Structure 1
């Protein structure tokens, strides 16, 4: 990384504190350039780079790295950072910013690169859109059956926006169909549940892994295996099966 690039990253990270700063490094006409991007995330704990910013960067040159800051936290990559780095196919630079005496100061910078990292199915942290219940189902199908399910963009808490029904609409596009209510469940069947959804639609999904157990990733919790009974059966709205 060129000294000017690092300086530009630090200035951006300090200017956006306490929000996470994010940006892209491109190579244009043989020169390295840092492009600050707008963080579209609704909170201060993660970042979302807009598709428009990516498009502008791609028009200007070749994207070679993603950059973001960790306000008041180590620059160590989270599970979500590692997964997203793999998906991007480029380097990720993470820089720490501390609000010392009210003056944000950028410090340590850590770089990670795609290396084939796979987050464990059980015990993974929750990060909506990156590590959530649908991500877990996609990973299970990829790891156990070598099936790549379709990916969908999804805003956090879409189930409370008064209109969205992403699971009912999305799973058929990913190759799933409903099974009869009295049909015996098979390993790989997906159970759609409604948990505190003001839209009145399913907003959580679990995968049946046999022996009365489900694998799922509940919002704000670590992914886990649980017995399918009691509360989970009460909130079940549909069971669907992959047919391709």
Structure 2
């Protein structure tokens, strides 16, 4: 990214202004002759985040070496969000973030960042209840759980990801058995299917992450026990 030119930043900003007020996204690609910017489609349904089209990434890879991911922060500072930091680590590439309409920009590099388990902001598919469970299992037990694609509002669109996926993630149903530390509680909130989950920490405490809230520890009794539909335990802990 050291050879990022005014011309390339101008191209990024022009694309961001065209997509405004949605977030724009694209890729910096090293091709024969130098670095170029390739605008990509944002498949996200909301304006608050981006989902870069996989086909566009594949096309860029076929053209040259993808060296950076680019996206915009409409009406917001180019300072990276918590979700930006997490996704930068997942991609393993620098992120160029631009503000529109002002035009300020900032580059974020992978640094080994890990978000805290308690106090992280919510971002569906990046920092949500399932992300918290995966991070907890990795950091606390050294277990890497399989990730799943989670479309926005999947539970309202005929999806049943928790009940269909817990066995693939290495869990077994222990509903009705005494709760143990590290058990995962599958809960149902204003939905026809379980659409929320948390980790039981023992001593009647659950660690979970609700939409539009910070992740937190909370007493597991009353309401949370009432909305729990299934308790699952990782096979290695049975």
> TM class, shorter-chain normalised?
over 0.9
Is it true that 1:155 corresponds to 2:140 in the alignment? no
The alignment of Structure 1 onto Structure 2 pairs a total of residues equal to 233
d(CA) in 1 for partners of 2:168, 2:61: 29
Matched residues in 1 for 2:32 and 2:124: separation?
37
Aligned to 1:11: 14
Equivalent residues in 2 for 1:1-244, closer than 5 Å: 1-98=4-101, 106-161=102-157, 163-181=158-176, 183-197=177-191, 200-244=192-236
Secondary structure of the residue aligned to 1:66 is strand
TM-score of the aligned structures, taking structure 2 as reference length: 0.95
- 1:68: Cα distance to partner? 0.6
CA contact (8 A) 2:45 2:152 kept: no
Question: Residues 72-117 of structure 1: CA distance to partner in whole angstroms, max 9, x if unpaired?
Answer: 111111000000000000000100112xxxxxxx411110110011
Counterpart of 1:9 in 2: which secondary structure?
helix
Separation (CA, whole Å) in 2 of partners of 1:239 and 1:126: 23
Three-state SS of the structure 1 residue aligned to 2:146 is coil
144 and 222 in structure 1: CA distance in 2 versus 1, 3 angstrom threshold: same
Q: Write the deviation string for residues 8-52 of structure 1: whole angstroms up to 9, x where unpaired.
A: 111111111111111011111252111101111112111110111
List alignment gaps of at least 5 residues for structure 2: none
Note the aligned Cα RMSD (angstroms). Answer: 1.0
C-alpha offsets along residues 117-166 of structure 1, whole Å, 9 cap, x if unaligned? 111101110000000000000000111111110011111110001x2110
Q: Where in structure 1 are there 5+ consecutive unaligned residues? A: 99-105
- Tell me, in whole angstroms, the C-alpha distance in 2 between the residues paired with 1:14 and 1:30: 27
Q: Does the 8 Å contact 2:78/2:105 carry over to 1?
A: yes
Structure 1 segments, 4+ long, off by >4 Å, are none
TM-score, normalising length: structure 1: 0.93
